[in-house]
Structure 1
Amino acid sequence: MARNEEKAQSLLNRWTSMKQDFADTFKNRRPYLASQCDNLKEAERWRRQIIREISKKVADIQNGACCSLYLLLSSFMLTWLLPAGSSEHVIRDLNDEINKRIREKRHWERRIVQLGGPDYSKSQPQAYDADGTPVSSVGGYKYFGAAKNLPGVRELFQTEEIEPRKRTRQDMYKHIEPDYYGFRDDEDEQQLKDEEEAENRLRQRAIDGWNTAEAKRKAQVAELQKGIPTA
C-alpha cells in the first residue's frame, strides 16, 4: 500500500514539475499581442528584445551573404540542388522579417505609452545603413543593405530624367487670371492715375497739333488775302 502511495506521489511530483516547466516556457515567451502585456517593465523588456533581433537581422542583410548556410550553399557549393534565385528569396524574406519586427516594435512602444512609460517614437534617430546612407523606404516599407540591390527594387530609387514638356495652349490658359482681360483695372488706383496722365498728355498733344495746324491755316489765308486786289 505504501508502495502505491510512493508511486502516486512520484507521478504527482513529475506532473507538477512538468506543469511548472511548461508555464515557465510560456512565461519567458514574448506575447503575440502587445495588448496582452499589463506590466511596464515586461513591455520594456520585450521592446529591447525586438531591438536586438532587428539589429542582428540588419547586420546579416548588410553583410550581403546574410550569414546563412543556405545562402552559402546557394552561392558556392550546392547550387545545383537549390532553385535559381534562392539567394534573392532569402534576402527578401530577411528584409520582410526586419520590417515585421519594426512594426512589432511600434506596437510595443504604443503599449508602453498606454502603461505610463516614455514615448520612444518621439526620440528615434534617423536609420542609416552600414555605408552611412539613410535607409530607403517606399510607402513605409524599408529596404536594408543587399535588399536595395534586388531586381525590381533598384528601379524604385532610380530617378529618371524627364525632358521638360512643351507648354500647350491649355497650360497657358490655366494661368490666365481676370487681370489679363482687364476685369479689375478700375480697382487699381495707380493704374487709373497712370492712365489719366497718359490721357492728358495725348489730349494736350492733340490740342497743340490742332493749334499749330490752325495757325498755319490762318497764315495761309492771310497771305492769300494780301494778293487779292481790293475794289
Structure 2
Amino acid sequence: MARNQEKAQSMLFRFRESQAADLGIIDASRTRRPKVISEQTNLQSCEKWRGQVLKEVSRKVTKIQDLGLSDYQIRDLNDEINKLMREKHMWEVQIRNLGGPNYTLASKSSGENIPGAGKGYRYYGRARELPGVKELFDAARAKGSGQKPGGGDEKSLEDRDDLRKDVDAAYYGYGPDEEDDTLLAYEAAREADAQARLAASTSTTSAKPPPGWEPLPGDIGDGQGWHLPTVEEVQQELLERRKRRILEQLV
C-alpha cells in the first residue's frame, strides 16, 4: 500500500499521467481538480468540484479543533481553509454563470473576521484563540459594547459632550476682537519692515553678516577662500598616494 502511494506521488507518475491525458487515453479531470475555474463549461462537473471542496473544508474545520495541534499547525490549517473558501466561492460564481443555482445567497461560514479589519480573511475554530488574534477579537468586542478591555465604560468621542462644552467661535479663530485696528496696524508695520530688510539684503552683494556671526575657514571675505583642485591635481594626488602605499608595503 505504501509503495502505491509513493508511486502515485512520484514525478514520473505525474508526468506519465499528464501525457496520457494529452493523448486522450485517460481523463485526468476525474482525479485532479481544475485550477482555471472560469474555463469550465460543464455544470455537473462544477457541482462535483464544489462538493469536493466542501468536503475538504469540513474535514479541515474539524481537524483545526484538535487540542494536540501547535500554533503553527493551526495557522497553516486556517490559511488552507481560507484558500479553500475562496475556491468554493469561485466555483459558486461559475455555477451561477452557467445557469445553475445561486449558492452564494445561502452560503454561510463558521469563521469570523476581525471587526474593523475588513472582510476576507476569517479565523476558524482554535485559530480565534491564537496569541495576538484573541486580543484583537477581545478589543473589538469591548469597543462594540462600549467598555474598556480592562473593564469600565468608555464613551465614544461623538457621545462626549464635555469635550465641546467650552468650545465657541473664538476657539476656531472667529473672535470679535481678533482683528482690531491696533493689531492690523502693528502687523502692517512689521510686514513693511520685513520687506525692507529683504530688499536691502538682496540689492547688495557685500551685505554684512548679522551680529555674532563667525565665518568658517574659506568663506568669502576672510582673505583665504576655497581652493578647488583641478583634474590634474587630483590625479597627481592619487598617484602620490598609490606610490606611498606601495613603498609602505615594500618596507
Separation in structure 2 between the aligned mates of residue 44 and residue 155 of structure 1, nearest angstrom:
39
Residue 88 of structure 1: how far off its partner (Å): 1.1
**Match of 1:152?**
132
1:19 aligns with 2:33: no
Deviation at 1:64, TM superposition (A): 2.9
Aligned residue in 2 for 1:105? 88
User: Partners in 2 of 1:113 and 1:153 — Cα distance?
Assistant: 35
Contact 1:40 1:115 in 2 (8 A): yes
Alignment of 1:112-123 (within 5 A): 112-123=95-106
In structure 1, the partner of 2:213 is none
1:146–1:171: structure 2 CA closer, same or farther, 3 Å change rule? farther
Hey, what does 2:122 align to over in structure 1?
Answer: 142
Give the Å deviation of 1:26: 4.7
Shift in CA distance, 156/40, structure 1 to aligned 2, threshold 3 Å: same
Partner of 1:205: none
Amino acid at match of 1:98: I
1:53 matched to 2:56? The reply is yes
Q: Residues 63 and 145 of structure 1 are in contact (CA less than 8 Å); yes or no, is this contact kept in structure 2?
A: no
Partners of 1:118 and 1:148 in 2: CA distance: 32
Equivalent residue number for residue 92 of structure 1: 75
Structure 2 CA distance for partners of 1:171 and 1:39, relative to 1, 3 Å:
farther
Counterpart-to-counterpart distance in 1, 2:90 and 2:168: 51
1-side partners of 2:129 and 2:25: how far apart?
44
Q: What does 1:35-54 align with in structure 2 at a 5 Å threshold?
A: 35-54=38-57
Distance 2:26 2:103 in 1: 31
CA change 1:149–1:173 in 2 (3 A) is farther
How many residue pairs match? The answer is 132
Q: Is the 8 A contact 1:64 1:145 kept in 2?
A: no
From the superposition, tell whether residues 33 and 173 of structure 1 become closer, same or farther in structure 2 (CA, over 3 Å).
farther
Please say which structure displays the higher CA radius of gyration.
1
CA, structure 1 residues 171+108, in 2 after alignment: closer, same or farther (shift >3 Å)?
A: farther
Tell me if 1:169 matches 2:173.
no
Decide whether the 8 Å contact of 1:40 with 1:117 is kept in 2: yes
Aligned to 2:247: none
Partner deviation per Cα, 1:123-142 (whole Å, 9 max, x = no partner): 224x44xxxxxx32123321
Unaligned runs of 5+ in 1: 1-14, 66-70, 72-86, 129-134, 175-231
Counterpart of 2:67, as a letter, is G
Asked if the contact 1:61–1:95 (Cα under 8 Å) also holds between the matched residues in 2, the reply is: yes
| Unaligned residue ranges in structure 2 (runs of 5+) | 1-15, 149-153, 170-251
**What's the TM-score once normalised by structure 2's chain length?**
0.46
Instruction: Give the RMSD, CA atoms, in angstroms.
Output: 2.9
Q: Distance in 2 between matches of 1:43 and 1:106?
A: 12
Higher helix share goes to which structure?
1
- Higher alpha-carbon deviation: 31-40 or 47-56: 31-40
